[in-house]
């Protein structure tokens, strides 16, 4: 009577299924390949939504606004609505594109500020100076 090894089926966190029977090993990577294909397609779509300056800096399509500047504002806690208020030429979709593109292609070197100059002035309390100076 021939003894066979028990079947072993394992599902990894990456979605790969591994089956082992005796000395054979079978790895089903179809789900992983599909996930990679979908991610590559999304990255290509993002790249089509971005222009590049002469020095290679990614810019929002049809603007001179740097992608990583918008992503830094989002990372700094600004809401997309606040960014759209400070950059009225940007749509909500462009702001989300900046977030995704910057996550996939991090900026080397010095980071951008995490707030806009307009917002910094607005929140600085300098408007009170106008009231004081206006009274003179």
133 pLDDT higher than 90 = no
Window from 2-11, 22-31, 97-106 with minimum mean pLDDT? 2-11
pLDDT digits over 53-66, tens only?
A: 999 999 999 999 99
CB–CB of 105/58 below 8 Å? yes
pLDDT digits over 112-130, tens only?
A: 888 888 787 777 777 666 6
Q: Pick one of 1.10.10.10, 3.30.450.20, 3.10.28.10, 1.10.1370.30 as the CATH number of 49-136.
A: 1.10.10.10
Domain coordinates in residue numbering, the chain:
49-136
């Amino acid at each position: 009577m021939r003894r066979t090894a028990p079947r072993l089926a394992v599902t990894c966190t990456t979605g790969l299924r591994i089956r082992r029977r005796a000395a054979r090993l079978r790895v089903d990577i179809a789900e992983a390949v599909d996930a990679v294909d979908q991610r590559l397609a999304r990255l290509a779509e993002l790249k089509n939504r971005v222009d590049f300056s002469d020095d290679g800096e990614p810019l929002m399509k049809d603007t001179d606004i740097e992608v990583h500047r918008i992503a830094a504002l989002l990372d700094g806690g600004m809401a997309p609505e606040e960014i759209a208020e400070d950059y009225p030429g940007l749509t909500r979709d462009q702001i989300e594109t900046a977030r995704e593109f910057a996550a996939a292609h991090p900026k080397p070197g010095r980071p951008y500020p995490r707030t806009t100059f307009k917002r910094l002035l607005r929140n600085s309390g300098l408007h009170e100076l106008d009231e004081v100076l206006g009274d003179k």
